[in-house]
Structure 1
Amino acid sequence: MLLQERYRLLKQIGKGGFCKTFLAVDEGQFPPIPCVVQELSPEYETFITFGQKAQQLEELGKHPQIPALLAYFEQNGHFYLVQEFIAGTNLAQVVEEEGAFNETQIWQLLEDVLPVLQFMSDAYGGLRLRNIIHRDIKPQNIIRRSPITKKGNFVIVDFTTAKIVTEIDQLTSETSIGSPEYSAPEQTKGKAVFASDLYSLGVTCIYLLTQIPPFDLFDIANDCWVWRDYLTSKISDVWRQDSKSLRLGQILDKLLQKTVNRRFQSADEVMQAMGMECKTQHFKLPNPPWRCLHTLTGHSGTLSSVNALAISPDSNTLASASDDKTIKLWDLNSQKVLASLSGHSQAVKSVTFSPDGQILATASDDKTIKLWRVETSKEICTLLGHSHAVKSVAFSPDGQILASGSWDKTIKLWDVNTSKEICTITGHKLQVNSVAFSPDGKLLASASYDRTIRLWQLKAFGRFEEKFENRPCYSLLGTLSGHAWAVLTVAFSPDGKILATGSDDNTIKLWEVNTGQLICTLVGHSWSVVAVAFTADGEMLLSASCDKTVKLWKISTAEEIVTLSGHIDSVSAVAVSKVTQLIASGSRDKTIKLWQLVEQRVGVARRRHP
């Protein structure tokens, strides 16, 4: 079955009273990537509640241990959620295959999962900001990643029963929901609270320790849990004598309290009892100082997605490239179209100005690169040589060399003055998505679908002459690996010390150029990061994502500063002025938005994942 002409259902992997879960592939990506599709019954969801649930999942998917929401839609009378596929095994299967958990594994589970529950309920300054209760925490809904890692190893899935708690919920009841064996007493009566998820987590832990169904671990006659009776005698003796084991037992007992007010009230409380550092979630301040001042609508037609943007060195002109096969030049002072450049026979995917602003280079799916004279808007020449779509072009700092990255897996260097090909750089195993020169022109970075970034050292010469024609003009300096999916974009910081990369895995990574070491991973986008750009002072990084947003990050602290929202479809391009406080973003919604810093003080809102 094919949904939305891109999501192909492969097999059913789960079924509840109102939800079916399928393993699927997204054929709209190349190569196709696995995903999970959940079909919700219209008897359970209305259009309004479905939209609300989708918004919940978009917010929750910002956490690396919760699957990202990739899409949601209605088709053939059913509602569908498309979520990130998590490679791994749920804990019910793990216990069945490997046997009961030991104490160390339970500690690790709690250390991994409690910060996620904290993220969901999110208490800060006495306010509840997310207010989300999962309502179906159980072994089947916790996945252990494969391969196993030390941090963030467990992922909570299936939020179809999740709800946002409002003040009115305190006065009303609803039908019992969730799995009876793992549900808290108040939840079975339709009165789920935040501590209900903690109760379910406690029941999950004692099941994993004993491999005995929860109903059999409860003594109805004496109204108490008897899970310790099912531990092996050797383990049971340790639990009575070892101080750490005693503490874990006490924590589990408090998680399992029947009366809500005797139970842990928040994930924070449990983490404090465990001796964990509690990292409170911080959020973006309201009314951020960045504001959309203008929306440009010049590309028209069915295929008019804005694919790439570039701002001229003097910040007076904006160039935009589109699926409509054209490039438009905009006057940033009047927001009017100066010229429309035509000549490519397929979608234009990349655009860049030369350092002096006199030449514009464009790359297209038609396998060609074109050079244009900006002043006259006339084509200078067409560069031929790639055997597949060209996705990225970049000028060297001196403007003498142009680099191009293509889906033919190669990078080519061109002499801008003679329009001749200098050399072809090979090494990537899959398509090349992005290329960028270092500020000193000595290095070239390339990003590829093969999940790597390669750093190439260029020969130290100025103009290329015939004597270099048959000699390598580059050498591989190093390969950076770490992204889980295709690397889509790459950019050097103005001082050349940091390399930023964006990926299909929804993350941005910052790398130290000199050593090739990973500095940090920026997590916050809920979908692919398709473009990154540094501000002129190198203090901030911009990222554009298919999640319809642009984010600004503070480099020194690796913290998110603000999220720019307003596009109604995937953001596909971002550019920043080197002269003024101006950001341009382009989207599949056919528009370009111009964002201005309306206050000189940038409000920093800290938001770190646990």
Structure 2
Amino acid sequence: MLCCVNPDCQKPLNPDKNNYCHSCRAELIPLLGGRYRPTQVLSDEGGFGRTYLAEDVHKLNECCVVKQFAPKLQGTGPLTKAIELFKQEASRLQELAEHPQIPTLLAYFEQNGYLFLVQQFIDGKNLLKEWERRGNYSETEIRELLLDLLPVLKFIHVRGVIHRDIKPQNIIRRQSDGRLVLIDFGASKQLTVTVQTKMGTVIGSHGYTALEQMQDGKAYPASDLFSLGATCFHLLTGVRPSQLWVQQGYSWVGSWRQYLISPGKDGVSVSIELGEVLDKLLQLDIQKRYESADEVIADLTPGLSPLPSLPVTVLTSTFASTPGNKRPFSLRLNNTLKSQLLLISSISVLGLAGVWYFQTRPHTMSEYSPSNSPPTSLPISLPSKSDFLPKAFKGHSSDVNSVAFSPDGTTLGSASDDKTIKLWNLARGEEIHTLEGHSNWIWTVAFSPDSKTLASGSADKTIKLWNVETGKLVRTLEGNTDGVTSVAFSPDGKTLASGTASKDIRIKLWNVKTGKLIRTLEGHTDGVPSVAFSPDGKTLASGSWDKTIKLWNLNTGKEIRTLKGNAESILSVAFAPDGVTLASGSKDKTIKLWNLNTGKEIRTLKGHKDKVNSVAFLPSGTQNGLTLVSGSSDKTIKLWNPLTGKEIRTLDTGSGYIYAIAISPDGETIAGGGSGENILKIWQPIH
């Protein structure tokens, strides 16, 4: 289904075939911003705009959230002002998305007189739905909620941002890790107040909104803390503050304890300590209320120091239910965390988005051989998070879909949705060239073995070859009927292989010197997002959205065999240095290792919580030994021991998805491309 984005439309859902809305007759917009397909209305702002669930067609229809702001303005002056304010709010949201418990801002744009924000979709239930399903929270759970959310509030308040609309509906428990995520920072609502009505409109929800915010339209950190207290009251008692507000205004806050159920089988009570915290959160007089998140935390955890400026709290998730337990989901703190929770602080090792790379210290590991027995322990010692000093550089203006190291180890190439390729000098951390020429987003890049040529594949259906030294275009390879999703050079540099999207499911082999098509390989039934040459150059592996991997004899152009076993699309394939083992990453969240002599699966690696977009092996002969690296939409990069299938370590990259990874020839550097703030970040160990 396709959603009409006319905010006044009463029945916005339409069949895919419609060009005009069946309800309001407005022209339908199949792709917002050229890539986001609105499929469902999530919330309605009463004619001022809507929030939609959408699919990102650039990212295998990955879910995202599109927030629409529809100012009813006359003349160009007010609209220009609205757009200016909109960009300011978007910039603020982009900064806030540094926190792992705030959704990533993916894009913002103006289209057809409407303004749109695109944000990361958080898979999970909001706390209102959770409460409706499982009943009232216990005191322990309320404390855990406060300890998980207060650091998020401190983070935004330090940056001069007030949420203004904290309530159970705007807090989501993330399914992957049980953490609470604060959503809906109300950019469209703030714009509505500023541009549309100017006076008399208040951002917030009756019952949850502090008195000063409701009466004067002014909000402070203490205003958010009142809303957090009202949220706790709702979840603790089961009584909605909005209902009490309609019946008696704010008088309920002075006698909130009367709504507690008497202790018993299903009853709820609170300790004196928590009761005093809620009393102070719910003070009508802002002068008597908590002024900061730190003050609340200090009262919840007496004797501990206040939170550092960039807090990351740690919670242990417990999902198992017990017989007769009314609450099948809870978060529990172990004893150590209870005493140390609020003292933990760190900056994410791999930043927010765009391109990252870090260097590891030398390590040793036995070289992989199918005949070797797995070692009893992993002879590897990777540095801890504190071993890295992040260094940021300006980069792309949109998602980075592909990264590649030059074989001589001097240059990093990155390709982006912003239709450019950037070449970076690794020694200096500086941009060398920006390659422009594609007319649509760029899916893939690869260096030739001599490091002199870069190949790029784009949604504009072309492949371009570039001179790395000069940054000039050498030639364009044409003839595809859909976007080019993958390119790879043969080990001798004479042949380029390319895969394409769904409408052109053929793999093509090109003569690099002449640009002529050598051969077409046919057999897949869906797009081919990944192709890779074996180390000896005799075999090509292709991973497809049709859930299969195919091996091709490059001398004859014939299919050798098909590898099957994944439940979802294959997104990436990579040969191990031995040429006998292949790794594949899939949308089904797994990595599989295959024996290419037999076509049998060796083992499945599980640990990622979202699709595995990219896999790569450390090159042969490096000091690190054989290691498999994977990048995922769960925002992590993982390092694996292929002999045992065990995870060596996980690198938390912050708030951005990982779409691509690459490893330097010496095995010391990993680069990752993804979504988020689209900047280059470099990590080097402290010596």
User: Structure 2 length normalisation: TM-score?
Assistant: 0.66
Q: Is the 8 A contact 1:508 1:529 kept in 2?
A: yes
Asked if residue 534 in structure 1 is aligned to residue 663 in structure 2, the reply is yes
Deviation at 1:76, TM superposition (A): 4.3
How do 1:160-309 and structure 2 match up within 5 A? Answer: 160=186, 176-188=202-214, 189-214=216-241, 216=244, 225-234=254-263, 245-260=271-286, 262-275=288-301, 276-280=341-345, 282=347, 290-299=429-438, 302=439, 304-309=440-445
Moved more, 392-401 or 130-139: 392-401
Find the counterpart in structure 1 of residue 140 from structure 2.
104
Find the counterpart in structure 2 of residue 53 from structure 1.
89
- 2:293 and 2:240 mapped to 1: Cα distance? 25
Find the counterpart in structure 1 of residue 571 from structure 2.
433
Deviation at 1:410, TM superposition (A): 1.6
* Counterpart selection for 1:451 from 576, 589, 600: 589
Unpaired runs of 5+ in structure 2? 6-28, 74-78, 191-198, 302-340, 352-389, 395-427
| Gap change, CA 1:277 and 1:324, over 3 Å in 2 | same
| Gap change, CA 1:271 and 1:457, over 3 Å in 2 | farther
| Gap change, CA 1:21 and 1:89, over 3 Å in 2 | farther
Q: Is the 8 A contact 1:310 1:351 kept in 2?
A: yes
- Structure 2 counterpart of 1:390, which letter? V
Q: Is the 8 A contact 2:138 2:268 kept in 1?
A: no
How do 1:455-474 and structure 2 match up within 5 A? Answer: 455-459=593-597, 472-474=598-600
Q: Is the 8 A contact 1:239 1:246 kept in 2?
A: no
Secondary structure of 2:588's partner?
A: coil
Deviation at 1:368, TM superposition (A): 2.8
- 2:250 and 2:149 mapped to 1: Cα distance? 32
* Counterpart selection for 1:404 from 518, 542, 549: 542
- 1:286 and 1:530 mapped to 2: Cα distance? 19
Q: Deviation digits for residues 241-261 of structure 1, max 9, x if unmatched?
A: xxxx34333333333344546
| Gap change, CA 1:190 and 1:222, over 3 Å in 2 | closer
- 2:63 and 2:456 mapped to 1: Cα distance? 32
Asked if residue 384 in structure 1 is aligned to residue 522 in structure 2, the reply is yes
* Counterpart selection for 2:601 from 465, 475, 496: 475
Deviation at 1:71, TM superposition (A): 4.0
Q: Deviation digits for residues 206-229 of structure 1, max 9, x if unmatched?
A: 222222344859999999733233
| Gap change, CA 1:293 and 1:233, over 3 Å in 2 | same
Deviation at 1:532, TM superposition (A): 1.5
Find the counterpart in structure 2 of residue 362 from structure 1.
498
| Gap change, CA 1:354 and 1:262, over 3 Å in 2 | farther
- 2:250 and 2:154 mapped to 1: Cα distance? 35
User: Structure 1 length normalisation: TM-score?
Assistant: 0.73
- 1:380 and 1:440 mapped to 2: Cα distance? 27
Deviation at 1:553, TM superposition (A): 6.2
Q: Is the 8 A contact 1:525 1:545 kept in 2?
A: no
Find the counterpart in structure 2 of residue 563 from structure 1.
none
Deviation at 1:346, TM superposition (A): 4.0
Q: Deviation digits for residues 528-575 of structure 1, max 9, x if unmatched?
A: 533221233444432223557255464989xxxxxxxxxxxxxxxxxx
- 1:221 and 1:78 mapped to 2: Cα distance? 37
- 1:347 and 1:58 mapped to 2: Cα distance? 29
Q: Is the 8 A contact 2:260 2:269 kept in 1?
A: no
* Counterpart selection for 1:499 from 618, 628, 633: 628
- Structure 2 counterpart of 1:110, which letter? L
- 1:221 and 1:174 mapped to 2: Cα distance? 19
Q: Is the 8 A contact 2:261 2:269 kept in 1?
A: no
| Gap change, CA 1:200 and 1:404, over 3 Å in 2 | same
Find the counterpart in structure 2 of residue 39 from structure 1.
68
Find the counterpart in structure 1 of residue 551 from structure 2.
413
- 2:250 and 2:474 mapped to 1: Cα distance? 83
Unpaired runs of 5+ in structure 1? 124-129, 165-172, 460-471, 558-600, 602-610
Deviation at 1:205, TM superposition (A): 0.9
Q: CA RMSD in A?
A: 3.9
Q: Deviation digits for residues 17-73 of structure 1, max 9, x if unmatched?
A: 675544534273686455444332415981111222223333334544333344434
- 2:238 and 2:128 mapped to 1: Cα distance? 9
| Gap change, CA 1:271 and 1:316, over 3 Å in 2 | farther
- 1:21 and 1:221 mapped to 2: Cα distance? 30
Q: Is the 8 A contact 1:182 1:204 kept in 2?
A: yes
- 1:102 and 1:206 mapped to 2: Cα distance? 11
Deviation at 1:436, TM superposition (A): 0.9
Moved more, 538-547 or 99-108: 538-547
- 1:550 and 1:54 mapped to 2: Cα distance? 17
- 1:156 and 1:144 mapped to 2: Cα distance? 9
- Structure 2 counterpart of 1:298, which letter? G
- Structure 2 counterpart of 1:543, which letter? G
Find the counterpart in structure 1 of residue 413 from structure 2.
none
Moved more, 405-414 or 95-104: 95-104
Deviation at 1:135, TM superposition (A): 0.6
Between Structure 1 and Structure 2, how many residues are aligned?
520
Q: Is the 8 A contact 2:618 2:627 kept in 1?
A: yes
Deviation at 1:510, TM superposition (A): 4.3
- 1:115 and 1:512 mapped to 2: Cα distance? 36
| Gap change, CA 1:344 and 1:239, over 3 Å in 2 | closer
- Structure 1 counterpart of 2:30, which letter? E
| Gap change, CA 1:525 and 1:357, over 3 Å in 2 | farther
- 1:509 and 1:269 mapped to 2: Cα distance? 38
Find the counterpart in structure 1 of residue 182 from structure 2.
156
* Counterpart selection for 1:394 from 510, 524, 532: 532
Secondary structure of 1:307's partner?
A: strand
Find the counterpart in structure 2 of residue 520 from structure 1.
650
Find the counterpart in structure 2 of residue 545 from structure 1.
674
Find the counterpart in structure 1 of residue 458 from structure 2.
322
Find the counterpart in structure 2 of residue 584 from structure 1.
none
| Gap change, CA 1:438 and 1:556, over 3 Å in 2 | farther
Q: Is the 8 A contact 1:272 1:278 kept in 2?
A: no
- 1:47 and 1:234 mapped to 2: Cα distance? 54
Deviation at 1:375, TM superposition (A): 4.6
Q: Is the 8 A contact 2:67 2:118 kept in 1?
A: yes
Q: Is the 8 A contact 1:70 1:83 kept in 2?
A: yes
- Structure 2 counterpart of 1:353, which letter? F
Deviation at 1:203, TM superposition (A): 1.9
| Gap change, CA 1:265 and 1:316, over 3 Å in 2 | farther
Q: Is the 8 A contact 2:43 2:52 kept in 1?
A: no
* Counterpart selection for 1:333 from 456, 461, 469: 469
Secondary structure of 1:349's partner?
A: strand
